[in-house]
Structure 1
Amino acid sequence: MGRRGDPRPGVRFLLLGLTLPALLLTQACARPGHTEHPHTASPSPSPTPAADLCTHLIAHWSRKVLDGTTYGDYQSMGLSTGQFEILRDVVDAARVVKRRQGEPAADELIGRQARQACTERYRYGTPTGGSWQ
């Protein structure tokens, strides 16, 4: 404990710990040409369009189903009923292509059909009705 009237050493350290960053921030913002505001949030990225998200999910899970490395139902995959219908159609077509032309051709077909079906599904916005729409 210090002399009478002096704050305790811990309090001085706390005051210095709180004051020093504030002074440094003030000095940094006072530089000429400094236009950034410390409390201004950077813009958040724009949301992924529904058709792009659908395409990514359908292509990912279609490849997993085709390889036999997935389990569960459409809900565990994060798909709606409509998206799962697209997945089933894509996987059925990809199985035929994989058997006849090989895995690279099936992979290409998955990407193409997922994009086409998802673009059609979300052409007029988010579909309504059904499980998870």
Structure 2
Amino acid sequence: MATGRAPRTGLVLGLAVLIGVLAAGCAAPDGAASARDGGSPSPSATPREEVCATIVAYWAREVLDTGTYGDYQSMGLSNGQYEILRKIVDAARAESGRTGPRAEDRLIERRARTDCAAWYRSGGPGEEPWR
């Protein structure tokens, strides 16, 4: 289902930023460099709530642009993140119908941040990968 919006030209840039954000989580604990590598300390890792919000917002826009969902694993989401995504897409579709695509985009950003923060505050993914 097309929304009438122009195709995303920044897809490659967005994916590069996402990869950079995810790679930042691979730094040494507390951003400390090991003594043997002689390097400077790594920047602190991106909070998991921000990573969640980034990937959920990305996929919400993709779903709205294409009209189709992938399965949560192929999207790189946990089941909990996928549930957040589905709720945001439903809300964004309703918002777009009422007020247009710009409001839809603002809703996606706002809800991705608040819903991911709430999810992690209540325990997040836990030990099971599907949560």
TM range (shorter): 0.5 to 0.7
Secondary structure of residue in 2 paired with 1:122 = helix
Asked if the contact 2:78–2:125 (Cα under 8 Å) also holds between the matched residues in 1, the reply is no
1:114 aligns with 2:91: no
Aligned position for 1:59: 57
Deviation at 1:130, TM superposition (A): 4.5
Q: Which amino acid aligns with 1:128?
A: G
1:84 aligns with 2:67: no
Rg larger for? 1
Provide the aligned C-alpha RMSD in A. 1.9
TM-score of the superposed pair, with normalisation by structure 1: 0.64
Aligned position for 1:102: 100
Secondary structure of residue in 2 paired with 1:79 = coil
Say how many residue pairs are matched: 95
Deviation at 1:42, TM superposition (A): 1.6
Asked if the contact 1:50–1:126 (Cα under 8 Å) also holds between the matched residues in 2, the reply is no
Which contiguous aligned blocks of 4+ residues in structure 1 show a shift greater than 2 angstroms?
A: 69-72, 124-127, 129-133
Percent identity between the two aligned chains: 54
Give 5+ residue unaligned stretches, structure 1: 1-38
